[in-house]
A and B are shown apart, each in its own frame.
Chain A
Amino acid sequence: MSIPPGYYLALAGLMFTIGVIGVLVRRNAIVIFMFVELMLNAVNLILVTFARMRGALDGQVVVFFVLVVAAAEVVVGLAIILMISRRRGTANVDDISLLRW
Chain B
Amino acid sequence: MPDLAQLGLYIFLLPLMGAVLLLFVGRRLDQFAGVLASSAVGLSFLLALMGWTRLLGQPAHGEGENLRSASIRVLDWIHVGRFDFGFDLLVDQLSIVMVLVVTGVGTLIHVYSIAYMAKDPRYHRYFAYLNLFVASMLLLVLADNLLLLYVGWEGVGLCSYLLIGFWFEKRPAHNAAKKAFIVNRIGDFAFLLGIFVLAGAVGSLTVGEINEAAGAMTAGIATIAGLLLFAGATGKSAQIPLYVWLPDAMEGPTPVSALIHAATMVTAGVYVVARFSPVFDQSEGALAVIGWIGALTALWAALMAAFEYDIKRVLAYSTISQLGYMFLAHGVGAYSVGIFHLVTHAFFKALMFLGAGAVMHALAGEVDMRRMGGLRKVLPVTGTTFAAGWLAICGLIPFSGFFSKDAILASAWANGDYALWTIGVATAFLTAYYMSRLYFRVFEGDPVVPDDAHPHDAPPAMAGPLIALAGAAVIGGLINLPGALTLEHFLEPVLGESHVPAGLTPWVLAGVALLVAAGGILVARSLYLLPGGEQRRARLYSIAPVLVEAARAKFYVDDIYGALVVRPAKALARAITDFFDVRVVDRGITGLGRVVAGASEVLRGLQTGYVRNYALAFLFGVVLLFSFVAVRVVT
Q: Which residue numbers of A lie inside 8 Å of B, CB to CB?
A: 20, 23-25, 32, 93-94, 96-101
Residues from chain B with Cβ under 8 Å of A20 in the complex: 619
Does the CB pair B608–A100 fall under 8 Å?
A: yes
The answer to the question of B628 belonging to the interface, with a C-beta cut-off of 8 Å to chain A, is: no
- Smallest Cβ distance from A32 to chain B, in angstroms? 7
Identify the interface centre among A25, A96, A101: most chain B CB within 10 Å of its CB: A101
Does the CB pair B607–A32 fall under 8 Å?
A: no
Q: Which residue numbers of B lie inside 8 Å of A, CB to CB?
A: 604, 607-612, 615-616, 619
A101 vs B609: C-alpha distance in the bound complex, in angstroms? 9
Does the CB pair A24–B609 fall under 8 Å?
A: no
Q: List the A residue with the shortest CB-CB distance to B609.
A: A97
Does the CB pair A98–B619 fall under 8 Å?
A: no
A99 vs B614: C-alpha distance in the bound complex, in angstroms? 13
Q: List the B residue with the shortest CB-CB distance to A101.
A: B604
Query: Of B604, B612, B616, B619, which one neighbours A93 at CB under 8 angstroms?
Result: B612
A–B complex contacts, Cβ < 8 Å, 11 sampled: A25-B612, A93-B611, A93-B612, A94-B610, A94-B612, A96-B609, A96-B611, A97-B608, A97-B609, A100-B604, A100-B609
Query: Of A24, A98, A100, which one neighbours B612 at CB under 8 angstroms?
Result: A24
Does the CB pair B619–A32 fall under 8 Å?
A: no
Chain B interface, DSSP helix/strand/loop, else mixed = helix
Residues from chain B with Cβ under 8 Å of A99 in the complex: 609
- Smallest Cβ distance from A17 to chain B, in angstroms? 11
Does the CB pair A100–B607 fall under 8 Å?
A: yes
A100 vs B605: C-alpha distance in the bound complex, in angstroms? 10
Residues from chain B with Cβ under 8 Å of A23 in the complex: 615
Residues from chain B with Cβ under 8 Å of A100 in the complex: 604, 607-609
Q: List the B residue with the shortest CB-CB distance to A27.
A: B612
Does the CB pair B616–A24 fall under 8 Å?
A: yes
Nearest 5 A-B pairs (CB), nearest first?
A97-B609, A100-B609, A93-B611, A100-B607, A101-B604
Residues from chain A with Cβ under 8 Å of B611 in the complex: 32, 93-94, 96
- Smallest Cβ distance from B444 to chain A, in angstroms? 85
A23 vs B622: C-alpha distance in the bound complex, in angstroms? 15
Residues from chain A with Cβ under 8 Å of B619 in the complex: 20, 24
A32 vs B612: C-alpha distance in the bound complex, in angstroms? 10
Q: List the A residue with the shortest CB-CB distance to B616.
A: A24
Q: List the A residue with the shortest CB-CB distance to B600.
A: A101
- Smallest Cβ distance from B131 to chain A, in angstroms? 57
Residues from chain A with Cβ under 8 Å of B616 in the complex: 24
Query: Of A24, A96, A97, which one neighbours B615 at CB under 8 angstroms?
Result: A24
Residues from chain A with Cβ under 8 Å of B610 in the complex: 93-94, 97
- Smallest Cβ distance from B243 to chain A, in angstroms? 65
Q: List the B residue with the shortest CB-CB distance to A93.
A: B611
- Smallest Cβ distance from A78 to chain B, in angstroms? 16
Residues from chain A with Cβ under 8 Å of B609 in the complex: 96-100
Residues from chain B with Cβ under 8 Å of A25 in the complex: 612
A32 vs B619: C-alpha distance in the bound complex, in angstroms? 15
Residues from chain A with Cβ under 8 Å of B612 in the complex: 24-25, 93-94
Q: List the A residue with the shortest CB-CB distance to B605.
A: A101
- Smallest Cβ distance from B78 to chain A, in angstroms? 53
A99 vs B604: C-alpha distance in the bound complex, in angstroms? 12
- Smallest Cβ distance from A96 to chain B, in angstroms? 8
Q: List the B residue with the shortest CB-CB distance to A23.
A: B615
- Smallest Cβ distance from A72 to chain B, in angstroms? 20
Residues from chain B with Cβ under 8 Å of A93 in the complex: 610-612
- Smallest Cβ distance from B240 to chain A, in angstroms? 68
- Smallest Cβ distance from B350 to chain A, in angstroms? 70
A93 vs B612: C-alpha distance in the bound complex, in angstroms? 8
- Smallest Cβ distance from B510 to chain A, in angstroms? 92
Residues from chain B with Cβ under 8 Å of A101 in the complex: 604, 607
A23 vs B604: C-alpha distance in the bound complex, in angstroms? 24
- Smallest Cβ distance from B400 to chain A, in angstroms? 82
A84 vs B604: C-alpha distance in the bound complex, in angstroms? 25
Residues from chain B with Cβ under 8 Å of A24 in the complex: 612, 615-616, 619
A33 vs B619: C-alpha distance in the bound complex, in angstroms? 16
- Smallest Cβ distance from A5 to chain B, in angstroms? 20
Residues from chain B with Cβ under 8 Å of A98 in the complex: 609
Q: List the B residue with the shortest CB-CB distance to A97.
A: B609
A98 vs B608: C-alpha distance in the bound complex, in angstroms? 10
- Smallest Cβ distance from A69 to chain B, in angstroms? 18
A20 vs B626: C-alpha distance in the bound complex, in angstroms? 15
A20 vs B612: C-alpha distance in the bound complex, in angstroms? 11
- Smallest Cβ distance from A97 to chain B, in angstroms? 3
Residues from chain A with Cβ under 8 Å of B608 in the complex: 97, 100
A96 vs B614: C-alpha distance in the bound complex, in angstroms? 13
A93 vs B616: C-alpha distance in the bound complex, in angstroms? 14
